[in-house]
Structure 1
Amino acid sequence: MSVTEGIILLHGFGGHHLQTALLARRLREAGYLVANIGYPSWRWPLDRVLDHLHDRLAASPIAHAARIHGVGHSMGGLILRAYIARHRPIRLGRVVMLGTPNSGSEIADLLYRLRLNRPILHHAGDLLRTRRLPAVEATLGTVDYPVGIIAGDKPMNGMTSNRIFRAANDGKVSVRATHLAGQSDHIVMPVAHTAMIYTRPVADQVMHFLRDGSFQHA
């Protein structure tokens, strides 16, 4: 890599930055500066999460990178969309989403029907459900930057998840829900939702998109 490029790396709902540490290491080994930032996805409302990210990034070495990319797992991809809509980096590069429920998750809808959304999803529920309020949808902005999306279709609990989704899914998000208007590329890989952030082939595809603006299709 001839110039220094940075990556904002965000974990998903209920996660921790330690979960994305292996992916961060692989990205650093490829020559990127990586800001692997944790955030209280359950406890904090979106506005507070975005302020937290903005403060952390302003103090991070990637703030001075030649280009700033984004990689988000699951809900982390939605947080990236909202962050770019509010605090778009001047030198914004490419964004990769891993199993991100861009159209919402059917599991979140199930929790709403069971009235378990508050104790389980709390502040994240408005982002994760399929029927988002217009104001919530507006915070995610319009995608006018290069976005590559990786979806999984090999859930670990196949029989149970297939009864919920009735379509290809990774155990938590359906493949169709990962699609996004304006996406540059989309690929489906044989991985489960949580496992994808630890899988070397997924990391290779992330780096391929950041470098070339497309995935390596078979």
Structure 2
Amino acid sequence: MHRRNECDKILLVHGIWMTGIEMSRLRWYLSGHGFDVETFSYHSLRRTPEENAEQLQQFIKRRQYECVHLVAHSLGGIVLLNLFDRYPDQPPGRVVLLGAPVQGSMVARRLFAHPLTRWLIGKAGVRGLIEGAPPWRGQRELGVIAGTSGVGMGRLVGGLYGESDGTVMVSETQIPAAVASHSHSVGHMGMLFSARVASDVAGFLKTGHFSEQQA
């Protein structure tokens, strides 16, 4: 077991169609790296990312964190950008986004365009999967991880080009203000179960760099 870190709190934020249980493996990995990990759960379809950011703000205030790292997957990353856009004064800590389509999602746009599949996106498109997230306004170190396996449900919908995790294109995850970015040959959901991805997340939260940048 690793020793506790100076800032040892992590709050995980899940993606669309999820409850947070899907992040249990990642939570277990990060706990093994010496972190105390919690999960924020929200309704991904019934509320907009901005509304869920309000719920997240209240969750953080109730916890009264002195320092907390934030790690978000997929739509959860868009919720975080909405959080920092509306409530920039957050407790100190670093941020990692996993496969988050902050530039908007081509797969989501295709699903939303069809009447029979529009319900699969719900309200997640507003300042989110359809429109794209607000610009990053957090005054802290931000790391971005993308998947490149190319295998996922997005292939069934179509519209993907270039490198992708099978659901989200690498280009859709890019944030110019990020201090570091890294990619792994994993799928969109597979990154939540990858020990290598978890090690990358832990390393960034401890140092502000991904492993290959620590020379």
Do these two structures clear the TM 0.5 threshold for a shared fold by scoring above it? yes
**Offset, 1:17:** 1.1
**1:175-206 deviations in whole A, cap 9, x for unaligned?**
11111020111111000001101111000000
Q: Does residue 81 of structure 2 align to residue 81 of structure 1?
A: yes
Q: Is the 8 A contact 1:68 1:89 kept in 2?
A: no
Aligned residue in 1 for 2:65: 64
Aligned residue in 2 for 1:191: 186
Q: Does residue 26 of structure 2 align to residue 23 of structure 1?
A: yes
Q: Is the 8 A contact 1:99 1:193 kept in 2?
A: yes
Q: Is the 8 A contact 1:4 1:33 kept in 2?
A: no
Aligned residue in 1 for 2:36: 33
**Offset, 1:102:** 1.4
Unmatched 5+ residue regions in structure 2? none
**Alpha-carbon distance change, 168 to 215 in structure 1, aligned in 2, over 3 angstroms:** same
**What SS does structure 1 have at the residue aligned with 2:143?**
strand
Q: Is the 8 A contact 1:143 1:181 kept in 2?
A: no
AA aligned to 1:97 is L
Unmatched 5+ residue regions in structure 1? none
Aligned residue in 1 for 2:164: 169
**Alpha-carbon distance change, 195 to 83 in structure 1, aligned in 2, over 3 angstroms:** same
**1:18-57 deviations in whole A, cap 9, x for unaligned?**
1112211222232222221111101123343223222322
Structure-2-length-normalised TM-score? 0.86
In structure 2, distance between residues paired with 1:57 and 1:179 = 26
**1:108-152 deviations in whole A, cap 9, x for unaligned?**
1212332456411111022102x44xxxx54x5524421111100
Where do 1:4-15 residues align within 5 Å? 4-15=7-18
**Offset, 1:214:** 1.0
**Alpha-carbon distance change, 184 to 96 in structure 1, aligned in 2, over 3 angstroms:** same
**What SS does structure 2 have at the residue aligned with 1:119?**
helix
Q: Is the 8 A contact 1:161 1:171 kept in 2?
A: no
Give the number of equivalent residue pairs.
209
In structure 1, distance between residues paired with 2:141 and 2:95 = 6
Structure with higher helix content: 1
Q: Select which of 197, 207, 212 maps to 2:207.
A: 212
**Alpha-carbon distance change, 115 to 181 in structure 1, aligned in 2, over 3 angstroms:** farther
Q: Is the 8 A contact 1:152 1:169 kept in 2?
A: yes
**Alpha-carbon distance change, 161 to 51 in structure 1, aligned in 2, over 3 angstroms:** same
In structure 1, distance between residues paired with 2:119 and 2:153 = 26
**Offset, 1:83:** 1.5
Q: Is the 8 A contact 1:14 1:41 kept in 2?
A: yes
Where do 1:86-165 residues align within 5 Å? 86-116=86-116, 118-126=118-126, 127-129=128-130, 131-132=131-132, 137-138=133-134, 141-157=136-152, 160=155, 164-165=159-160
Q: Deviation above 4 Å: which 4+ runs of structure 1?
A: none
Q: Is the 8 A contact 1:144 1:182 kept in 2?
A: no
Structure-1-length-normalised TM-score? 0.85
Q: Select which of 174, 177, 187 maps to 1:179.
A: 174
Aligned residues with identical type, % of pairs:
26
Q: Is the 8 A contact 2:147 2:170 kept in 1?
A: yes
